[in-house]
Amino acid sequence: MWKLKDDDSRPIFTAEKQVKSAHRAHSGTPLPEKTAIVFFMGRGLDLMRDMHPVTEVDEGFPCFLNRRALWTLNDLPACYLYGGAGAPMAADTVETLAALGVKNIVSVGLCGGFSDKVHAGEIIVPEKAFVEEGTSLHYYDGIVSASPDGEYLKAVSGALEKRTHPIVSMDAPYRQTFKKEAEWRRLGAVGVEMETSAVFSVSKYLGLRAISLLMVSDIHPIEDGAPEWSWRMTNELRRDLVQAGFEAARLITEIGKRRDSLK
């Protein structure tokens, strides 16, 4: 049934209650950092620790699905963590960050490319994500695509000199058929992954501002008989992506400071 129209009843439980629940043993104390870098690639966590001074938060991250570690950056007012795999875990992460007082999300991950508009190893800043995951449909009566914060999109793509393209977020990686990818290309999309549309849609629903950076990890064959895809990621490319996420968080911090100075 997805989201029921005119449903004004309350959720059975909320992220705010979850972070304070007894079995999580978390104080529910808000994070001092208002920006979170959320990695949808496990290797990003280790690389961030190698590249920048960080401090692990003792209480961890009290999400509903698979409680995990949380770190703060020592030279930037931001925290970072692993966001999980797939739209449900992405939504859980965003909801929990919102409950802890975070206002900005920098989502960092990988996508499979299916267009000649991008190349393997390129970092793109999605201008929108077509919704082919079910999580967003529990937040909105109907939703075709979800978008990042417009100010952050312009600032991050411009300062980091990254191109913007539509992408697709879907739940079923083994159903990325040739016909379906051809239809995605017709809509202008260049890559596919599993979380970004949920990050965008849930962030908007909660009043958070979100941006995403995705590295094209491989290029899919576009027709039967074409060479099979191959994994193109290297450790150096991952470091480039992690640093881009850090720089995006830095830009958002600067935007926030300018905004506060005008108040």
Domains and CATH numbers, the chain: 15-261 (3.40.50.1580)
The interaxial angle of helices 196-206 and 87-99, nearest 10 deg, is 30
Query: Tens digit of pLDDT for each residue in 112-154?
Result: 999 999 999 999 999 999 999 999 999 998 899 999 999 999 9
Beta-carbon contacts of 157 under 8 Å, excluding residues fewer than 6 positions away, are 125, 163, 164
Sign of CA dihedral 232, 237, 239, 244: negative
Per-residue pLDDT band for 24 (boundaries 50, 70, 90) equals: low
Query: Tens digit of pLDDT for each residue in 218-250?
Result: 998 887 777 777 777 899 999 999 999 999 999
The interaxial angle of helices 235-261 and 150-159, nearest 10 deg, is 130
Write out the two tokens for 89. 């875990």
Q: Is 70 exceeded by the pLDDT of residue 25?
A: no
pLDDT of residue 193: 98
Query: Tens digit of pLDDT for each residue in 200-221?
Result: 999 999 999 999 999 999 998 8
Give backbone dihedrals phi and psi of 70, rounded to 5 degrees, phi first: -140, 135
pTM score of the predicted model: 0.95
Average pLDDT of the chain, as a whole number: 93
Per-residue pLDDT band for 75 (boundaries 50, 70, 90) equals: very high
pLDDT of residue 30: 83
pLDDT of residue 186: 96
